[in-house]
Structure 1
Amino acid sequence: MTSKDGKLKVVGIGGTLREGSSSLGALRRALGAARDSGAEAELLDLKELDLPMYEPGRPLEGYGEGVGRLVEAMRGADALILSTAAYHGTLAGITKNALDFAQFLGGDERPYFDGKVVGLISTAGGEMAGSNANGAMVHVVHALRGTVAPLMVSVPRAWKFSDGDGNITDDGYGEKLEGLGRLVVDLASRLTPEEDRVLRASA
C-alpha cells in the first residue's frame, strides 16, 4: 500500500541460495532506480528469508517468521519486481516456492497481485534459459492476477556481466534494469484497479 508519506511501495523478491547471486544483484540495481524515482523500496532476499516448502492447507501461523514477512510484504506492495536465476530452462525452484505463498493473499479484498504491476528479471549462465524463465514467470503473475510490466530484463551469461557480489557490471544490462525500476514506478502510479482489469482482460 502507499506509505504514510504518499510514496508508492515497490517490493523486490529474488536471489538464490548461492553467495554473490547475480539475480539478487540485478534486483538491487532495479530497486535502486525505483527508489530514485520516488518510491519506497523493500528488498526480500530469499536466502535470508529461509523459506520452507509451501504446503497446501497449512495455516500461515504454522510457518516461521520469514513466510510471515514475505506474505505481508506482498500484501502491502503497490508493485513488485521479481528476479530469478534460470535453472535447467526455467525459473529457479526457490523463486516458484516463494510465489506459491501468495496463496495466503487469495482471500484479500484485492486477492493475490490484483491491481499490482510486476516487473520481471532473470539471470542465466547461458543464452536462452533467461527468456524461458521470464516467460514462466509471466504465466505465474497472470495466474495471480497481476499486470506484467512490458519491459522484461534477461541477463544471459551472468557470470560474465557481474562481479563476485552479484552486482551487474555491464552498462547495457545495468541501464535496462534501471529502466525497469523506473517503469514499474511509473506504471504503478498511473494504473488504477479498473484499468488493470481492462488490461488483463485484453491480454
Structure 2
Amino acid sequence: MKVTLIAGSNRANATSTNLLKYMETLLKADRVSVSFIDLSELPLPLFTPDNWDFHPNVRHMLGAIADGDGLILATPEYHGSISGALKNALDYVQADQVAGKPVLSVSSAGGPLGVSSLTHLQTIVRNLHGINCPEWISIGYGSGGLGPDGAPLDEGVRERVLSAVNRFVETTRKLTAAAAAANG
C-alpha cells in the first residue's frame, strides 16, 4: 500500500507540515510506503487551464497522487480556508487521479481549531470524487504544541492523531483490496 502526503504550506517549518512528518513516521512504522510532497520545497506555477504542458514539479506531484492508494492533505488555516499553495496544487488534479481513494484532511490553525479549512478541503475532495475519511485532524494553539519530531506534546491530541491515522490506513487497505478483487 502506498500513501501520498501533501504538505500544503509554503512556509518553512510550518506546524501543519511538521505534524504531517510525524504522521509519515506513523505510516512507515505500519509498513506503509509513503510519498511526501512538501509544497514549500516543490513550488508549483500558478494553475491556468490554458496550459496543460505542466511544469516538472506539477508532473511529479500528479504522479505521486496517481500512484497512491490514499492521500493525506495538510494545510494551515488562512482566513477560514486552506492555503493558497494547496488550493493551487489541487487545481491541477483531475478527478480520475483521486476518484475512489480515501483522503484524510489535516489542519493547523492560529486559533483553537481549523474546522473551516477542513470543511473547504473536504468539499474539494468530494468534487474530485475522493472518499473523505470520517476522521479529520485539527490542531491549534490549545492543542499543546508539537515536539521536535512533529509529535503532539499533549497526550490526548497525540492519541487522536494516532487513531485517525490508524482508521485511515484501515480504510485504505480495505478499499485497495476491494478494488484489486473487482479488477480480477
Q: Same fold (TM over 0.5)?
A: yes
How far residue 165 of structure 1 moved from its aligned partner, in angstroms, is 7.7
- Specify whether residues 15 and 144 from structure 1 end up closer, same or farther in structure 2 by C-alpha distance, changes over 3 A only: closer
C-alpha separation in 2, matches of 1:20 and 1:159: 18
- Specify whether residues 137 and 48 from structure 1 end up closer, same or farther in structure 2 by C-alpha distance, changes over 3 A only: same
How far residue 186 of structure 1 moved from its aligned partner, in angstroms, is 0.8
Structure 1 residue aligned with 2:161, among 177, 180, 199? Answer: 177
- Specify whether residues 165 and 50 from structure 1 end up closer, same or farther in structure 2 by C-alpha distance, changes over 3 A only: farther
How far residue 29 of structure 1 moved from its aligned partner, in angstroms, is 1.7
Higher relative contact order (CA 8 A, sep 6+): 1
**Structure 1: where are the runs of 5+ without partners?**
1-7, 195-203
Deviations 1:137-163 (A, max 9, x none): 110000000001111010011795135
TM-score by length of structure 2 reads 0.88
Structure 2 residue aligned with 1:58, among 45, 48, 51? Answer: 51
- What does residue 26 of structure 2 align with? 33
List structure 1 runs of 4+ shifted beyond 4 angstroms. 163-167
Structure 2 residue aligned with 1:139, among 106, 123, 128? Answer: 123
What letter is aligned with 2:34? A
**Matched ranges for 1:14-163 at <5 A:** 14-59=7-52, 61=53, 63-103=54-94, 106=95, 111-128=96-113, 130-157=114-141, 161-162=145-146
Cα RMSD (Å): 2.1
How far residue 101 of structure 1 moved from its aligned partner, in angstroms, is 1.1
How far residue 112 of structure 1 moved from its aligned partner, in angstroms, is 3.2
- Specify whether residues 67 and 159 from structure 1 end up closer, same or farther in structure 2 by C-alpha distance, changes over 3 A only: farther
Aligned to 2:92, what secondary structure does the other structure show?
helix
Deviations 1:84-141 (A, max 9, x none): 00001111111111111103xx5xxxx131110000100001024x001001111000
Query: Is the 8 Å Cα contact of residues 25 and 168 (structure 1) preserved in structure 2?
Result: no
How far residue 22 of structure 1 moved from its aligned partner, in angstroms, is 0.5
Query: Is the 8 Å Cα contact of residues 112 and 143 (structure 2) preserved in structure 1?
Result: no
- Specify whether residues 35 and 53 from structure 1 end up closer, same or farther in structure 2 by C-alpha distance, changes over 3 A only: same
What letter is aligned with 1:17? N
How far residue 39 of structure 1 moved from its aligned partner, in angstroms, is 1.2
**Structure 2: where are the runs of 5+ without partners?**
none
C-alpha separation in 1, matches of 2:146 and 2:121: 23
Query: Is the 8 Å Cα contact of residues 125 and 159 (structure 1) preserved in structure 2?
Result: no
Q: How many residues align?
A: 178
Q: Taking every aligned residue pair, what percent have the same amino acid on both sides? A: 29
TM-score by length of structure 1 reads 0.80
